[in-house]
Amino acid sequence: MGILDKILKKKEEEKESSVEFTVGEIHLKHVPVKRDPDAKIEEYWIETLDVSEDAYWVLVGRRHGVFQLYDWAGNLHRLPSKPPAQSVTDIVFRGKYLGIVAPPYLVIYYLENPKDPKTWKSVRISQEGLRPTGGLDIRKGTLAFGVVGEKVYVIDLTGDLTQTTVDFKSTFIYRDAEIGDLRAIKILPNGKLFLSGTQGSGVFSIGGNLLRKIPYAGGRAVALYEDKVYIADNEKQKIAVYDSTLDRVEGEIDLVHRVGRIDVSPDGGYLFTADEEENRLGIYNLKENTFLDFVEGYGYSVVRVAPDGSVYTSRYEDTEGKRYYYLEKFETNLIDFVYPKERQKQIIKNAQNIYKEFKKYISEAKREEELERVKPLEELESINVPLKEVRSLILKAREELSRRKLEVFINTLREKLREGSFTGQDYARLKEKLEEVSEDWKEKLQELKEEAERFFDEKLREHLKKVREAITKAKVTSFTDMEGLPEVKETRKFISTLPREFSNYANEELLKTLQERIIEDRLKTFSIKLLEDKVIFGREEVEKFRPQPVRYRWHLKVEDKFVQDGKVYAKIAFEREDGLLVEPKRYNNVVEQDSVRHFPEWVGRYLKHLNGLCSTEPYRVPDFVSFEETPWFVQNLERFTSLVKEQLTYQEGILILEGDAGVGKNFLVEVFSALTNRPLFIIPCNSKMEKEDITFVYEFDPKRGTKRVYSDLVKALKTPGAVIYLDEINTLPPSLVKIFNPLFDYRRYLVLSYGEVVKARPDVILVGGMNPQNYLGVSELPQDIKSRADIMYVDYPPFEDEKGFYYPDEALILRDYVDTLAPLNKEEFTYLWYYVVNDVKTELGEKLRTPERERDVRLLFELLKIANEIRKAYRAYQTQQSEEPVEFVFSIRDTIRCARRLKKYGDAKKVVIETIIPKISSPLEKEIVRSIVERA
């Protein structure tokens, strides 16, 4: 808007506000009221309006159920829970009640605090067969209204209006009064009811008895002042005056125009009439029963004279083909006719003195509690005389109180910030204030809000610093341990006092702090140290196995007996403990059976010679195994080591590894064997195994004939330091389980045929492996074995924890197959992973991050996310928690294969679809897995 436009607009406003009229002794000054921000509202004509008894509120009801609530100064407010309606026929303010007829509802508001609409509670009354139409009044706790069917209902307002049904004081039909359609109801001072309709009027008792017919049809143009009812009859062109005390029409006044509504001045001396068709307001002198004049340009359809003498009416204006209906207000000198000038001066002076006390009180108040109830303001508000000067003082006092409250509020919060006692509740109050205050205060409160946010941030940093120091000193290694620290508890307590938007961020920061410790601890704790004489797996150490040469003893063996020349001969040979057989070459080893009891001298010398050779068996060196030293893998080795050490110490039991196929159970055993220098024997088990598979079989040797060949298990039991791994141990047939019982308990031996016993060496380790027992089609581990075993569950590398953080363990295995990540060591990759995936900002992570590495880390993350979703679906089906048949096991070998192809495809989903889907035979399972990949 330009300067000229502003000047012209200001002049138009000044011109409009300076409109004044003088009619007889009455002076009317036009006062503009604020227009509704929604210009379309004023296209709806005003159907009715009313003013509260203290002249503070004006409620306007427009077409289509639109309401406008103004205060005495012309400011717009919101009517709480306004009733849904297409029309509004009546509005009545009376005492602490506000009644509205908005067909098909009657709504009654209880004005708990008449000056604060937010406290107004409403009850909507609508029952079967009860449809309010028109006519409403309230007086001394009684409410009367008209309904469809020519009925009037009377309610006692002292009852509980919140009930589903309402008890009516009385109900009656007014048809006999012949008033036509009911338009207005007035409750007379004597308790009787005055009904005005389109054809006449009538007086009824409160119980519904017709007391008098009055031949004047006022419709809605009816006004009550003390005991007199003024009825404007447009057809007769008369204003009838009915005296309710004398019960008679005591006079008539000529009506000079057709009227819509009428009202009487507060002193009862003047009648104001709103024209039914034109913009003109008629004024009558009731003392002389004469028409005075019209106020031209104002006064269409509705009029209401407030107790403070203000006149509210309407005006229509045609603009660009549309008609607008404006609410208009005139300030008048009518109040002078009620309150003499001298009395007004005394009231105003008294109000000014109270106002001075008010100013002094609020200036000295330092605490918010002192401003909750301000006695001088309550005294000021208790002045019931509706003088504009008093109202202005009250309004000014409220504004100053509001301003002082804000000042004290700000000072209080600043003091709390200085003391360090500022809380989340204080911040919430600050935000509420920021939404409520005017623009003048927003800047100050915004500065205070920013200061509070800095305070929270600094406090959080202090707490996090203490947490870092505490977890370093305490040397804790798990979330559970860290959460138990006093510093962490104190930080949690501090976070609980923060506003929600801060507490979420603060919890994330605390979690990241704990995660940083977990990163460092997992890298430091779960590592492998290879020393000369021992190996350290995490926090468990075990001695390397140092095998001593095994010396085998020789003994004489007699075999192949035969008869020659009537004598029995036998062949003698020398057999070593491990089954090696030697025949003497320099001596004849065929002797008569009779001489077997007394061998030739050379036999003893030969046996002594053989035992003196120190016969030994070469040590079986374990195979070298390449592995990735991830915290998850080392943690499994740590648990494995702890349990096998116990087995060796107490010389009993078997350790059984339980876990999904492809999770790395066999690999775990292989790495342990290789690093501890122990030979590994893998014994595959199945449901068709026989006793001979675990003991020995007979084989035929052409030179020696039939001989015994021991099983790998028997050989392993005799091998120093052997690790015996019984794969799929749960598939052993029941007939063999009993054979293993003495091997797995404290006896540690295996019984062969014919009473032969093979005892396990004390340095032999027994391990078994199996799939989870609760999976579909998996044989449960026999109870005999279960009772003798320790069971260790081996899971896939951890991926997501309960806090929403993602572990890098499996990604550490895969990084070697991604060019940009392969050069990074374990520590570097871990910090980079946490930086990119978990947003745990560290200096090392920032240093290592490049766009290419970040891209490839995210590709690995997406790949593992898909893999883990498929693993979850597999487990859900295997444990019967899902009916979707997913039987494909996404092993670590599969993630490695996919990782090798990430560079080629550049997309994790495409890699999985191209690599994994072809492995699945079932068409249904293919579609299920494909949908899992697409959703991941």
pLDDT of residue 763: 94
Per-residue three-class SS string for 629-657: CCHHHHHHHHHHHHHHHHHHHHCCCEEEE
Starting at the edge strand found earlier in the chain, the sheet holding 680-684 runs 680-684, 723-727, 765-770, 654-658, 789-793
* Per-residue pLDDT tens over the stretch 529-539: 999 999 999 88
pLDDT value at 737 more than 70:
yes
Predicted local distance difference test score (pLDDT) of residue 642: 95
> What are the phi and psi torsion angles at 482 (to 5°)?
-65, -40
Beta-bridged to residue 315, according to DSSP, are: 326
| pLDDT tens figures, 851-887 | 999 999 999 999 999 999 999 999 999 888 999 999 9
In the predicted model, is pLDDT for residue 691 greater than 70?
Answer: yes
- Average pLDDT of 82-92? 85
Average pLDDT, the chain: 87
Q: Are 838 and 806 in contact (CB under 8 A)?
A: yes
The whole-number pLDDT of residue 752 equals 82
Instruction: Report DSSP letters for 212-236, one per residue.
Output: EEE----TT-EEEETTEEEEEETTT
How many Cβ atoms sit within 10 Å of the Cβ of residue 416?
15
pLDDT score recorded for residue 801 = 83
Segment 283-323, tens digit of pLDDT: 999 999 999 999 999 999 999 999 999 999 999 999 988 99
pLDDT band at 829 (very low <50, low <70, confident <90, very high): very high
Strands 654-658 and 765-770: parallel
Q: What is the mean pLDDT of residues 903-913?
A: 94
Cβ neighbors of 327 (< 8 A, separation 6 or more) are 33, 46, 49, 58, 60, 68, 70, 312, 313, 314
**Strands 210-214 and 222-225, how do they pair?**
unpaired
User: In this predicted structure, which of 203-207, 332-336, 774-778, 832-836 has the lowest mean pLDDT?
Assistant: 774-778
Query: What pLDDT sits at residue 601?
Result: 76
619 has a pLDDT exceeding 70: no
**pLDDT grade for 503, boundaries at 50, 70 and 90:** confident
pLDDT of residue 3: 45
Average pLDDT over residues 506-519: 82
142-147 and 528-530 beta bridge pairing: unpaired
Reading the block at residue 219, the tokens are 């419709």
Distance CA 832, CA 827 (A): 9
pLDDT of 651 reads 94
Q: Looking at the predicted structure, is the pLDDT value of residue 744 above 70?
A: yes
What pLDDT sits at residue 15?
A: 47
Q: Using one digit for the tens of pLDDT, what is the confidence trace for 350-403? A: 999 999 999 999 999 999 899 998 999 999 988 888 888 898 898 899 889 999
C-alpha 591/C-alpha 820 separation (Å) is 78
Cα dihedral 905→910→913→914 (10° resolution): -20
Give, in degrees to the nearest 5, the angle at Cα 359 between 357 and 361: 70
163 pLDDT more than 60: no
Report d(CA 53, CA 41) in Å as an integer. Answer: 26
Q: What is the pLDDT of residue 9?
A: 47
The DSSP bridge partners found for residue 556 are 574
CB atoms < 10 A from the CB of 80, how many?
Answer: 13
49: Cβ–Cβ under 8 A, 6 or more apart, which residues?
A: 58, 59, 60, 61, 91, 302, 304, 312, 327
**Cα angle: 172, vertex 173, 175; to 5 degrees:** 155
Asked if the model's pLDDT at residue 553 lies above 80, the reply is no
pLDDT attached to residue 617: 59
Is the CB of residue 348 less than 8 Å from the CB of residue 387? yes
The model's pLDDT over 179-192, given as tens digits with 9 standing for 90+, comes to: 999 999 999 999 99
- Give me the mean pLDDT over the 575-589 stretch: 70
CA 597/CA 105 separation, integer angstroms = 127
Q: How confident is the model at residue 103 (pLDDT cuts 50, 70, 90)?
A: confident
pLDDT at 582 over 80: no
Share of the chain above pLDDT 90, in %: 58
Q: How many CA atoms lie within 13 A of 679 on its CB side?
A: 18
Residues in the chain: 936
Q: How far is CA 500 from CA 130, 168, 217, 459, 625, in A?
A: 48, 50, 64, 16, 52
For position 130, what pLDDT does the model report?
A: 75
pLDDT given for residue 8 in this prediction: 42
pLDDT in tens, 19-63: 999 999 999 999 999 888 888 899 999 999 999 998 999 999 999
Strand duo 757-759 + 581-582: pairing: unpaired
Give pLDDT, residue 572: 77
Highest mean pLDDT among 275-279, 607-611, 615-619, 688-692: 275-279
**Where is pLDDT greater, at 611 or 143?**
143
Helix/strand number for the chain, H first, E second: 24, 45
- The reported pLDDT for the residue numbered 4 is 43
Instruction: Please tell me the predicted confidence (pLDDT) of residue 621.
Output: 65
pLDDT surpassing 50 at residue 240? yes
According to DSSP, the β-strands at 120-125 and 554-564 are unpaired
Q: Report the phi/psi class of residue 272: left, alpha or beta, with left for phi > 0 and alpha for psi in -120 to 50.
A: beta
Sequence-distant (6+) residues with CB within 8 A of 189 are 139, 226, 227, 244, 245
Does residue 265 register a pLDDT over 60? yes
Burial class (CB in 10 A: 0-12, 13-18, 19+), 575: middle
CA nearest to 32, candidates 386, 388, 392, 330? 330
Task: Identify the pLDDT of residue 278.
Answer: 95
**Confidence at 616, pLDDT banded by 50, 70, 90:** low
Angle at the Cα of 657 (from 651 to 658), degrees rounded to 5?
A: 140
Residue 851 burial by CB count (10 A; 0-12/13-18/19+): exposed, middle or buried? exposed
Average pLDDT over residues 765-772: 94
Look at residue 62 and give its three-state secondary structure. Answer: strand
Angle between helix axes 631-650 and 500-525 (nearest 10 degrees) is: 50
Enumerate the β-bridge partners of residue 32: none
> Are the beta carbons of 773 and 729 closer than 8 angstroms?
no
Q: Which residue has the tokens 């104001």?
A: 272
167-170 contact pairs (CB < 8 A, 24+): 169/142, 169/206, 170/206, 170/207, 170/208
Angle 911-915-919 from CA coordinates, rounded to 5° = 150
**CA 585 to chain CA mean position, Å:** 91
Q: Express each pLDDT in 785-800 by its tens digit.
A: 999 999 999 999 999 9
| pLDDT reading at 735 higher than 90 | no
Q: 78 and 69 in contact (C-beta within 8 Å)? A: yes
Q: Which residues pair with 418 in a beta bridge?
A: none
pLDDT at 528 over 80: yes
Among 842, 791, 851, smallest CA distance to 820 is for 851
Task: Give the highest mean pLDDT range of 330-339, 428-437, 468-477.
Answer: 330-339
Cis amide prior to 104 (ω within 30 degrees) = yes
Residues in CB range of 311: below 8 A, 6 or more apart = 28, 272, 281, 303, 304, 305, 329, 330, 332, 334
Q: How much is the pLDDT for 842? A: 85
Percent of the chain with pLDDT over 70: 91
Q: What is the distance between the alpha carbons of residues 619 and 678, in angstroms, rounded to a whole number? A: 10
Question: What sign does the dihedral 862-866-871-872 (CA atoms) show?
Answer: positive
Compute, in degrees rounded to 10, the torsion defined by CA atoms 469, 472, 476, 478.
80
Contact 51, 330 (CB under 8 A): no
Residue 14 pLDDT > 60: no
